[in-house]
């Protein structure tokens, strides 16, 4: 049996070997999921809700273990990894309320009674990237199970361990066999098969825009339902009238959290020209204060990149002679380390300004006025997130309405909140996850007319 060795990115040591699944094994999992879906959807809503709550509680009881696995396979600082395990628990708990509230409508029509039902789409293929293996898994898994779907998940090759453990915890919590399965393996084999198999009725994909486009084309073949959460190149817009101390103190974590491997990273800081010098002077100590190092230490703020290849990719945006304005620290020795790096001034047609780097590299660029700030923020094929710093409420609202992006925060850098919808404009994605309506994305509406005449 072929295996893949999971590597700890902070030490470059092997963690464990994980099977690399074949097309036949993927097909077997899909067939089990299709069989299990018939009985899962038939479980009474209150009982399905209870099972999801028990699943959430079981995850909570194993939160430290899950966090340690995430630290080992993805290099996330343990504090962040514990938050991630808590996110899985909370998302399961939030959507455990959904089965008992999955109401349709009664629509007034002549000659009878008209009602709608939200029917589960069936088997869902959940394709997950390596940057936030646990939370992203839960964002698809919890609403899908709540809707009455069964799930076959494919974790990223580099980070399969937490997903595999969460599937064991699901069984331990009483979620029936076949309702949630994890099939580790290659994207081109397992992921592609989920896209191509006719019994998989929906794909929830999170990953790069490049693979997302292929997945979308594959889904078209079967008119398969699809949610895409793709890349980003988000702007952090700082006006001169903002609380510059806070804006500068928080700008590093808005882009360097998870070593910048975050689709929501505010990787272009746009600063009103009149405040640029002051902002840069405040930014420098904030960047240099970031604690980069051993992710198993509680005080570590930034860990390594996921792999040697990712480090090479990130470094390619900072060639010799690049305009490095500020540079933080990083450990030497083993591990895929890269220091927090601020580039300025950068031409607006350079790859560091236009492309998603997915690493701890940020550009700082001045703008002249409100219209210029909106135009610069929108000058990208992406539209996932962003921040606006100003003390002028009217301006905050005007700019928030003007920026073409799915998730904005004003005078803060909110990360993803499971209570609210999350997703991208333009090439950052299709559809929304999380929030009160996420379960709808795993259902199809059925309209039934009953004649009374």
Interface contacts to ligand NAD, rule CB under 6 A? 127-132, 136, 154, 156-157, 187-188, 191-192, 195, 206-208, 211, 214-215, 229-232, 263, 356, 358, 384, 424, 428-429
Q: Is 437 exposed, middle or buried (0-12, 13-18, 19+ CB in 10 A)?
A: exposed
Sheet holding 409-410, edge to edge: 324-327, 341-343, 361-367, 268-272, 235-238, 386-389, 409-410
Residue 233 near residue 355, CB atoms below 8 Å: yes
Q: Is 83 exposed, middle or buried (0-12, 13-18, 19+ CB in 10 A)?
A: middle
Q: How many residues does the chain have?
A: 453
Nearest CB to ligand NAD, comparing residues 214 and 414: 214
Nearest CB to ligand NAD, comparing residues 398 and 426: 426
Task: Give me the least distance between CB of 126 and ligand NAD, in Å please.
Answer: 10
Tell me the CA distances in angstroms from 17 to 3, 160, 184, 397, one per residue in order: 6, 10, 11, 50
Nearest CB to ligand NAD, comparing residues 145 and 156: 156
Nearest CB to ligand NAD, comparing residues 188 and 348: 188
Buried b (16+ CB within 10 A) or exposed e, 380-398: bebbbbbbbbbeeeebbeb
Identified catalytic residue from 70, 229, 301, 433? 229
Chain centroid, CA 136 distance in Å: 5
Task: Give me the least distance between CB of 166 and ligand NAD, in Å please.
Answer: 15
Q: What is the DSSP string of 121-144?
A: --EEEEE--SSSHHHHHHHHHHHH
Tell me the CA distances in angstroms from 368 to 238, 365, 410, one per residue in order: 11, 10, 20
Which of these, 45, 128, 140, 56, lies nearest to 92 by C-alpha position?
A: 56
Nearest CB to ligand NAD, comparing residues 93 and 263: 263
Identified catalytic residue from 70, 84, 219, 263? 263
Task: Give me the least distance between CB of 416 and ligand NAD, in Å please.
Answer: 8
Within a 10 A sphere around the Cβ of 414, how many other Cβ atoms? 14
Which of these, 173, 128, 182, lies nearest to 150 by C-alpha position?
A: 182
In sequence order, the β-bridge partners of residue 116 are: 447
Nearest CB to ligand NAD, comparing residues 136 and 175: 136
- Structure-block tokens of residue 224: 């398969």
Task: Give me the least distance between CB of 123 and ligand NAD, in Å please.
Answer: 15
Crossing angle of helices 45-61 and 133-147, in 10° steps, is 160
Nearest CB to ligand NAD, comparing residues 154 and 201: 154
The helix (run of H) or strand (run of E) holding residue 310 is helix 308-315
Q: How far apart are CA 376 and CA 379, in angstroms?
A: 5
Nearest CB to ligand NAD, comparing residues 176 and 431: 431
- Structure-block tokens of residue 118: 């939200």
Q: Is 229 a catalytic residue?
A: yes
Residues in CB range of 389: below 8 A, 6 or more apart: 236, 237, 238, 239, 242, 243, 246, 247, 410, 411
Task: Give me the least distance between CB of 449 and ligand NAD, in Å please.
Answer: 39
Q: Which residues are catalytic?
A: 229, 263
């Amino acid at each position: 049996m072929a295996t893949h060795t999971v590597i700890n990115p902070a030490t470059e040591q092997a963690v464990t070997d994980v099977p690399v699944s074949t097309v036949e094994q993927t097909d077997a999992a899909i067939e089990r999921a299709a069989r299990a879906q018939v009985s899962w959807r038939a479980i009474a809503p209150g009982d399905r809700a209870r099972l999801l709550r028990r699943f959430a509680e079981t995850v909570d009881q194993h939160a430290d273990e899950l966090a340690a696995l995430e630290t080992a396979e993805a290099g996330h600082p343990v504090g962040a990894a514990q938050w991630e395990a808590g996110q899985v628990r909370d998302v399961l708990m939030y959507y455990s309320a959904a089965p008992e509230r999955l109401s349709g409508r009664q629509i007034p029509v002549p000659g009878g009674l008209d009602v709608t039902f939200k029917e589960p789409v069936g088997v869902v293929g959940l394709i997950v990237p390596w940057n936030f293996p646990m939370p992203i898994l839960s964002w698809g898994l919890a609403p899908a199970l709540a809707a009455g779907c069964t799930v076959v998940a494919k974790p990223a090759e580099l980070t399969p361990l937490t997903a595999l453990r969460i599937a064991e915890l699901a069984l331990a919590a009483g979620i029936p066999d076949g309702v949630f399965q994890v099939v580790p393996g290659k994207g081109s084999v397992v992921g592609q098969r989920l896209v191509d198999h006719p019994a998989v009725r929906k794909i929830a994909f999170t990953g790069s825009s490049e693979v997302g486009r292929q997945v979308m084309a594959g889904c078209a073949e079967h008119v398969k339902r699809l949610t895409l959460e793709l890349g980003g190149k988000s702007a952090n817009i700082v006006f001169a009238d903002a609380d510059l101390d806070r804006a500068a103190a928080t700008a590093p974590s808005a882009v360097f959290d998870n070593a910048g491997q975050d689709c929501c990273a505010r990787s272009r800081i746009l600063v009103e020209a009149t405040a640029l010098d002051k902002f840069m002077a405040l930014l420098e100590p904030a960047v240099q204060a970031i604690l980069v190092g051993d992710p198993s230490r509680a005080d570590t703020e930034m860990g390594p990149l996921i792999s040697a290849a990712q480090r090479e990719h990130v470094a390619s945006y900072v060639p010799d002679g690049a305009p490095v304005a500020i540079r933080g620290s990083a450990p030497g020795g083993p591990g895929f380390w890269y220091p927090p790096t601020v580039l300025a001034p950068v031409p607006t047609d350079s790859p560091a300004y236009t492309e998603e780097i997915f690493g701890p590299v940020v550009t700082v660029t001045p703008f002249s006025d409100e219209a210029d700030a909106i135009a610069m923020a929108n000058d990208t094929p992406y539209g996932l997130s962003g921040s606006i710093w100003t003390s002028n409420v009217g301006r905050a609202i005007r700019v928030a309405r003007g920026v073409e992006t799915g998730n904005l925060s004003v005078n803060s850098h909110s990360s993803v909140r499971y209570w609210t919808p999350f997703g991208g404009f333009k090439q950052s994605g299709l559809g929304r996850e999380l929030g009160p309506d996420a379960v709808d994305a795993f259902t199809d509406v059925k309209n039934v007319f009953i004649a009374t005449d």
